[in-house]
Structure 1
Amino acid sequence: MTGTPRAALVAGEASGDLLGGLFLEGMRQRWPQLQSFGIGGEQMMRHGFEPWWPYEKLAVRGYAEVLRHYREIVGIRNRLRERLQQERPDVFIGVDAPDFNLGLEEDLRRGGIKTVHFVCPSIWAWRMNRVHKLQRACDHVLCIFPFEPELLAKHGVAATYVGHPLANVIPMDADRAAARRLLGVPMEGEVIALLPGSRASEIEAMTPRFLAAAALLQKSRPNAWFVLPAMPALQSRISQLARSGPSPRHLNIVTAQSHAALAACDVTLVASGTATLEAALFKRPMVISYHTHWVTYALMKPRHLQPWVGLPNILCGEFIVPELLQANAKPDLLCGALTEWLDSPDRMLSVQQRFRDLHQLLKRDTARLATDAIQQVLAS
């Protein structure tokens, strides 16, 4: 095709909205009059995106949690499919959310709409059988990790390594002092960022554990400060949880500002997910944790192909940061792991250098590489 494309996008959670916003920024640099619509949030709307549904409608995780929202999610996907088949966008771009997007992409591609999937599903970590769905669903996959295109090529899936958009946004050396001034925490002394997740189910499962761990740490480190960035829709619930259970004395609950919290902190306690990679790009030592419904955990654990769940550990190929999951996601163990970091400055410096090397690896001209690949898809 020639001229400006019309693009449909679907992001299914806060991290996808962030990636989608960065992606749309690059697309609009190439196509200033780009029309985009679908499912997304505030970050995507900043670049002219028209949301037909907010991403929060899809932001559930795990088998047990999805079952409770199954009918609503399926209804949204069916109505979205019908509308897209009528609108006929030039390209559909699924931003992560493979459980929702891949089936939709398969139907749209069968109907003659070009499909691109942004962020290769973690087939190298679990559910390798998804590669067959990628074959059917995607004209092209945009990969954020360098080893993925070769793996996909072995299965006949066209793919391009575009780097990770966050590696271009997050500075190599964050301004810690400026972040601390912004968040209102002391310029000197220890600051710990608490990142319990962005979904309502994660907040309920992880926030009490993280706050209890912080309360224990406060006893041994009375001058430490804790910063907890909260999505606006979940901030009141987080504040309620802080009032109703164990919580540290020095706690700042701030609206959004997760990047400021990571820039300001010395170490972070973070729920497994995209935030762990963000923490690595900020060069922050971390303790990764997660706890989910026992049914979800029992179904997922046998399908996992690697010993790690945290992205920094997966990308480095070893446990460079601790992972305390499920039965080990206990406040005393979390507190102990944070204490080990704070008491080991040489270890902190070593992991920061590993994260610097990782940042260099992921930093590419993502906007150009991604839009080049989309242009080739549109021209094919």
Structure 2
Amino acid sequence: MPAPLRIGVVVGERSGDILGAGLMQAIQARFPDAEFTGIGGEQMLAIGFKSLFDQERLAVMGLIEPLKRLPELLSIRRQLFNHFANNPPDLFIGIDSPDFNLDLELKLKQQGVTTVHYVSPSVWAWRQGRVHKIAKAVDLILTLFPFEADFYQQHGVPVQFVGHPLADELAPVADSGSLREALAMEPDSTYLALLPGSREAEVRLVGPLLWQAAALCLHKLPNLKFIVPAANSARLEQIHEQLKGFSELPITVVAGQSQQVMAAANAVVMASGTTTLEALLLGKPMVVAYRMAWLSYKILSKLVKSKYISLPNLLADQPLVPELIQHDATPEAISAAILPLLIDGDERQVTLAEFDRIRKSLALNASTQAASAVLQLIGR
């Protein structure tokens, strides 16, 4: 009997755990005795993953926290390298967390281990020079979006576009009645969902813009209603505090449930991020409005090379979704951009048709595609 397939995997955050679990299940469907070791989260542990460290130890964000935790992170990476160098797996897969995984992948590849990186860093948007390090570090990169694969092909890096797991899960809801009932929304009213972001600074800078834009929309559409999903308890408190000055707004604030809120609403105004992809997959017209600290904006605006910041526009390669950034993000501009999308007219229908085309292009059964690509890489 051949030895069981041995695969090393490292994920650094919850989204990577979801991808890792899907990939594991797709590989286990072909190789039930496959062994997976490294760092994984709860979903991966539940299906047999052996984690050498708690995945939460890698879940660091921002600029300061990684620096404070640097000695610990370097120690974990060194111990992982020693483990895999002394017990070479058939394959090593780093899932997202590029600042941690790419160096590990590079050192393992130099030891003769076949390496894969799943989820492209935003190298196409900024710090494009990283593509040369990626080329040295991996035998294959798996991307969630086709424009990412195009970028790597242009730079001679082996790449496979596998689709996005969210596109396999999310689709427009034919009847939102039960969702509205669960969210205490009026069944026949027109609702605009407002998503000011998940971080304190985002809500502080973007929230007031959205509430002011809502007041302007209400002046034009007196029967309009609003609903806001708060990302966590801290944001819930912050949003309630901001809304004390907008008592005239017919607005409902709920804890979490951002996907359900978007699915139940008629349109969405949001800060940029993965929620823009979720709104597209759910078939909800949207406006992206974003502000950041002026110094951060000044620096990033010089570094970012892409034409757009929202995933719908990057995927369409055209200004499909209005993007109102920094000084362009005013209550007047936001309300003017979203009002036509609340009405079932030509602009809304054209947008929804393009959303549907993009959704179908991403719904490729990503986990199965990824499993096929990595198994083919090692001749299995």
Corresponding residue of 2:325: 325
**SS of structure 1 residue aligned to 2:324:** strand
Partner of 2:195: 195
- Over 3 Å counting, the alpha-carbon distance change for 1:25 and 1:315 in structure 2 is same
* SS of 1:103 mapped into structure 2: helix
Match for residue 73 of structure 2 among 74, 77, 80: 77
Give the 3 Å change call, closer, same or farther, for CA 251–79 of structure 1 in structure 2: farther
Tell me the equivalent position of 1:10: 11
Aligned mates of 1:243, 1:265 — CA distance in 2: 20
Paired position in structure 2 for 1:63: none
Name the counterpart of 2:240.
243
Once the two structures are superposed, the pairs formed by residues 256-295 of structure 1 within 5 Å of their partners are 256-295=256-295
Q: How does 1:287-326 map to 2 (within 5 A)?
A: 287-326=287-326
RMSD of aligned C-alpha atoms?
3.1
Describe how 1:6-155 pairs up with structure 2 within 5 A: 6-12=7-13, 15-32=15-32, 34-35=35-36, 37-38=38-39, 40=41, 47=47, 50=51, 52-54=54-56, 57-60=59-62, 66=63, 68-88=64-84, 90=89, 91-155=91-155
1:262-289 CA distances to partner (integer Å, 9 max, x unpaired)?
2111111122122211111111111112
Relative to structure 2, which stretch is displaced further, 281-290 or 14-23? 14-23
Contact 1:290/1:329 (<8 A) preserved: yes
Q: Aligned with 1:167: secondary structure?
A: helix
- Aligned mates of 1:346, 1:369 — CA distance in 2: 36
Q: Distance in 2 between matches of 1:20 and 1:178?
A: 32
Q: What per-residue deviation string (whole Å, max 9, x for no partner) do you get for residues 218-243 of structure 1?
A: 45445433333334xxx222222222
Unaligned runs of 5+ in 2: none
CA contact (8 A) 2:277 2:311 kept: yes
Q: Which has the larger radius of gyration?
A: 2
| TM-aligned CA distance change 1:101 to 1:85, over 3 Å | closer
Change (3 A) 1:229 1:124: same
| TM-score (norm. length: structure 1) | 0.83
The offset of 1:45, in angstroms, is 5.7
Note the C-alpha offset of 1:370: 0.5
Aligned equivalents of 1:253, 1:101: Cα separation in 2: 38
Q: How far apart, in 1, do the equivalents of 2:269 and 2:44 lie?
A: 27
- Alignment-derived partner of residue 354 in structure 2: 354
- Secondary structure of residue in 2 paired with 1:321: coil
- Structure 1 spans left out of the alignment, 5+ residues: 61-65
Deviation at 1:245, TM superposition (A): 1.6
- The number of aligned residues is 369
Distance 1:289 1:56 in 2: 30
Q: What's the TM-score once normalised by structure 2's chain length?
A: 0.83
Q: Which amino acid aligns with 1:331?
A: P
Deviations 1:184-204 (A, max 9, x none): 212111122223334454344
